[in-house]
Amino acid sequence: AQSVTQPDIHITVSEGASLELRCNYSYGATPYLFWYVQSPGQGLQLLLKYFSGDTLVQGIKGFEAEFKRSQSSFNLRKPSVHWSDAAEYFCAASSFQKLVFGTGTRLLVSP
């Protein structure tokens, strides 16, 4: 079955430090991949997407993600975290209009 795994339930990062959130997918073929961010009580905002081509994709708010086919991974990175980045992050894969989400990673930012 198609699935997306985010192994970290929550991560705490100091403000100004770098960030990497992990995402692994299990699909028959390479799916389209996305990262979304959700602040408490809000909707989901699209950070970036991977369809094909360059495996390093740039997104909004200084985020980037790298697609690694050999590892079935699509990890999200940011070189310097700001306090406003504290939120829930969802990795997702799509197939035939269905988005399959990971369970999410809650990012906490310490001063």
Partner 1 sequence: DTEVTQTPKHLVMGMTNKKSLKCEQHMGHRAMYWYKQKAKKPPELMFVYSYEKLSINESVPSRFSPECPNSSLLNLHLHALQPEDSALYLCASSSLFYRDRGDEQYFGPGTRLTVT
Q: Would you tell me which residues interact with partner 1 (CB under 8 A)?
A: 31-32, 34, 36, 41-46, 49, 51, 90, 94-99, 101-104
Residue 53 gets the label, from left (phi > 0), alpha (psi -120 to 50) or beta, of left
Alpha helices in 11-110 (DSSP H): none
| Closer residue to partner 1, CB minimum distance, 13 or 89 | 89
Single out the residue of 101, 53, 61 nearest to residue 77, CA to CA: 61
Q: How far is the CB of 42 from partner 1 (least distance, A)?
A: 6
Q: How far is the CB of 32 from partner 1 (least distance, A)?
A: 5
Q: How far is the CB of 16 from partner 1 (least distance, A)?
A: 28
Single out the residue of 76, 71, 73, 72 nearest to residue 88, CA to CA: 76
| Closer residue to partner 1, CB minimum distance, 81 or 105 | 105
Q: How far is the CB of 97 from partner 1 (least distance, A)?
A: 5
| Closer residue to partner 1, CB minimum distance, 32 or 72 | 32
Residue 79 gets the label, from left (phi > 0), alpha (psi -120 to 50) or beta, of alpha
